[in-house]
Structure 1
Amino acid sequence: MKLYQIPGACLLVGSMLAACNTSSNKEKAAGTPALNQINLPAPYATESVTNYSEVIGWRDGKMPQAPAAFTVTEFARNLANPRWIYVAPNGDIFVAEATTEKRGKERIEAKRSGLAKSQNIGRSANRITLLRDANEDGVPEVQTIFLSGLNRPFGMLVLNNYFYVANTDGLWRYPYQPGQTRIKGRGTKIMDLPAGGYNNHWTRNLISNADGSKIYVAVGSGSNNGENGMEHEVRRANILEINPDGTGERVYASGLRNPVGMGWAPGTTTLWTAVNERDELGDDLVPDFLTSVKDGGFYGWPYAYFGPNEDPRMKGQRPDLVKKTLVPDVPLGAHTASLGLAFYDRAAFPAKYRGGAFIGQHGSWNRSVLSGYKVVFVPFHNGKPAGPPEDFLTGFVSEADHKKVHGRPVGVAVLKDGALLVADDASGSLWRVAAK
């Protein structure tokens, strides 16, 4: 077992989740157990397994469960794989509806393996839906198709009277005025993006800096661990930085297998990302993570993981990169598919949540016991993690059969009224979590 120093975190793997969450402040002050120490098992300590969940939907009045101080309501339903949520400055809510498509032999194999029961694999809706809840009563009075005919859209951004959309193969922008309910004009493609490869990594997310002078584009890898050759990974497993017109591209950070969620820690200029790590090294490797992103930083993929731990499948190929691999800040458990990220920058929730991070965990397929399938919360203090992740929105895994799930949370966003909105793509729902 290898021991690494991780600022403000403890590894949530299997039964360790309960141990991390029950550590008292007194114990932390005494240094036992320290939050910044984790044990990583050796690669292949357990067999790599394929264990797809089966989505059964929400029946008989079942709903996700939040802590006692909150209420959960269904904000929208019957959406076509609502994957990501963006809240515009005026409070309008945009939902990207897109999915992994399987056709021909891939579709046959998905049905044989059980993948088809765990996620939507049909034709992608390829659209963005607008929802508006102007009176903030938790019931949108407007729901309309805002933009359609896209190519697996995901990240969205309103900046300088433009509406930006990150398709899987390129970044587009459209003239936009706050309050409009449909894009009618032609857009402009301002940036090509690499597409294809490992199909679950089609998502491309967007975020701008505070003054709107730069846009950051998250691009996941085209493979699990570079098995198709690194020549196919150019501009992938990176966060790219560009100017708002698409020029000036540079790699802001690299070695991030699938950095989907991005956010700025409130009160700081520090970018954070939630990263979906690699598979097939065993039940408890490799932990997904939440980390601050350093300009020019390298985070390991595919040569090393969670610090300078060399991936045995890439042994001896790039010892220089293994050595320079940065250790992430907060481990989130292996195979949890930690994808969503939203910092809580409102005041409606109790004080402990203010400034902290909510993370949507889409759920495992490469673990003997399902992991993820929930939204977790990481407390922050003065812009830095102040404790281990804790469960926030649960109940997605069936109590009657732990191989079945009601839905799969992914995108998370904070609304202008201070509620948290969670995209449940597998069930086609959006869940609203509000303080009582």
Structure 2
Amino acid sequence: MSEHFGRTRHIVVAPNGVVFVKLSKLKDGKGIWRLVDKNGDGKADDSTGFGGYTGTGIAISRGYLYASSNEEIYRYKLDDKFNVVNPNQPEKIVTGLLDRGEHNTKSIALDGKGNIYVNIGAYSNACQMKDRTKGSPGMKPCPILDSAGGIWKFKEDKANQTYGDGERYATGLRNVVGLDWNTATNSLFVMQHGRDQLHDLFPDIWDTKQSAEAAGGVYV
């Protein structure tokens, strides 16, 4: 797949086996590709591109395909064969999300009950006074947590939502690379990218082993 599509971010597989791929770099001007294995040999032999924007998040829920850029969340209506009904006119569900160029990808998950959860990564390593500067203390409370460093919850079917329409569902997470809703426990599970360089920045406190093991990246 990567040989043909380059920088693949997240993928989602429909119940009938159709695969949707989200790219961080456009291929032929398209950031989302629909792949179909028609002959059952385990290889895609038909592909269709749409969505002229890059990004990370992609998910299917209740008859819609959801996809994210680094600032917005879109959704596309699907038919019963998981074809995109109108690929050129998606609904914009969320807009105006923070993009400072660092940890700016917007991973998403849906709970099947009308809510979409969006990662908004922190635009710093560990909320230091001077980012990635040796000995620079952390800020407490961390001032960027009002708009980054956590998970925000929005409605999956309301157009043009902004921060004011959402709920800060979880905070203190540097950058959640992947997340998914667990229907068995009725809760959100996440996998985050922790902070870097604890030993490099504070060698009097952390040795290299502790730095590797304690890089949790939690903000307060």
Common fold by TM > 0.5: yes
1:205-225 superposed Cα distances (whole Å, 9 cap, x missing partner): 11111x332111112111111
Residues 176/185 of structure 1: CA separation in 2 closer, same or farther (3 Å cut): farther
What residue number does 1:220 align with?
Answer: 121
1:45-71 per-position Cα deviation (integer Å, ceiling 9, x unaligned): xxxxxxxxxxxxxxxxxxxxxxxxxxx
How far is the alpha carbon of 1:78 from its aligned partner? 2.3
Q: Within 5 A, what are the aligned runs for 1:174-213?
A: 174-177=76-79, 178-180=81-83, 183-192=86-95, 193-198=97-102, 201-209=103-111, 211-213=112-114
Give runs of aligned pairs for residues 72-91 of structure 1, distance below 5 A.
77-91=3-17
Alpha-carbon distance, 1:86 to partner: 1.3
1:168 aligns with 2:70: yes
C-alpha distance after superposition, 1:152-176 (max 9, x if no partner): 3211122343322111011122333
Q: Take 1:203 and 1:186, find their aligned partners in 2: how far apart are those partners?
A: 22
Distance (Å, rounded) in 2 between the aligned partners of 1:207 and 1:149: 21
Match of 1:241, as an amino acid?
K
Q: Distance in 2 between matches of 1:240 and 1:136?
A: 39
* 1:123–1:157 CA distance, 2 compared to 1 (3 A): closer
Structure 1 residues 140 and 272: CA distance shift in structure 2, 3 A: same
The change in CA–CA distance for 1:196 and 1:239 in structure 2 (over 3 A counts) is same
Amino acid at match of 1:179: F
Larger-Rg structure: 1
Task: Report the Cα offset of residue 142 of structure 1.
Answer: 1.4
The count of aligned residue pairs is: 193
> Quick check: 1:277–1:287 contact (8 Å CA) kept in 2?
no
Deviation at 1:233, TM superposition (A): 4.5
Match of 1:258 in 2: 175
Is the contact between residue 174 and residue 195 of structure 2 (CA under 8 Å) also seen in structure 1?
Answer: yes
Q: Go from structure 1 to structure 2 and tell me whether the alpha carbon gap of 1:132 and 1:224 turns closer, same or farther (over 3 Å shift).
A: same
The separation in 2 between residues aligned to 1:214 and 1:208, in whole angstroms, is 6
In 2: Cα distance, 1:132 partner to 1:123 partner: 17
Pairing 1:270-289 to 2, within 5 Å after superposition: 270-282=187-199, 283-284=208-209, 285=211, 287=213
Give the alignment partner of residue 133 of structure 1, picking from 33, 37, 49. Answer: 37
Cα displacement string for residues 45-102 of structure 1 (whole angstroms, at most 9, x for unaligned residues): xxxxxxxxxxxxxxxxxxxxxxxxxxxxxx5632121121111233211111115xxx
Q: Is 1:240 matched with 2:152?
A: yes
Preserved CA contact (<8 Å) 1:174 1:185 = no
Q: Larger RCO: Structure 1 or Structure 2 (Cα < 8 Å, ≥ 6 residues apart)?
A: 1
Distance in 1, Cα, partners of 2:169 & 2:41: 40
State TM-score, norm by structure 1.
0.39
**Secondary structure of 1:168 counterpart:** coil
Q: Is the CA contact 2:145–2:171 (under 8 Å) kept in the aligned structure 1? A: no
- What's 1:97 paired with? 23
1:8-40 per-position Cα deviation (integer Å, ceiling 9, x unaligned): xxxxxxxxxxxxxxxxxxxxxxxxxxxxxxxxx
Counterpart secondary structure, 1:98: strand
**C-alpha separation in 1, matches of 2:116 and 2:87:** 24
Distance (whole Å) between structure 1 residues aligned to residue 28 and residue 219 of structure 2: 29
> Which sections of structure 2, spanning at least 5 residues, go unmatched?
132-138, 200-207
Q: Secondary structure at the match of 1:273?
A: strand
Task: Indicate the SS of the match to 1:78.
Answer: helix
- Structure 2 letter corresponding to 1:249: G
C-alpha contact (below 8 Å) 1:127/1:153 kept by paired residues: yes
Percentage of matched positions with identical amino acids: 26
